[in-house]
Amino acid sequence: MQETPTELMLKGYGLTTAELFYRMPDYRNVLNSFVWQEYDLAPDHPKLFGFIEFWQDSIEGPLHSVRFTHRKMLSSGEWRHVVGEFHYH
């Protein structure tokens, strides 16, 4: 069973977005881009680096460069468990 994005964020994961620039296999002077997005752990980024290794091993278009950003959408101090609820007239 796959974890939901909220469960991942509570475990410290953040949304990582990467733009990979690669050369076309038949036209080496042409750069193309591919956008990848996944919940990952900073600062090691195991899923991002795993994807880059997969690309280098399995995809014919050699990588030119990778640009990425990481946004931790929920930190442990921002989450509170609320037990009660108040109703106003």
The string of pLDDT tens digits covering residues 5-35 is 888 888 888 999 999 999 998 998 999 999 9
| Amino acid identity at 52 | I
Q: Average model confidence (pLDDT) for the chain?
A: 86
Higher pLDDT, 61 or 87: 61
Residue 61 three-state SS: coil
Mean pLDDT of 46-63: 95
Sheet holding 14-23, edge to edge: 31-40, 14-23, 63-71
Predicted model pTM: 0.76
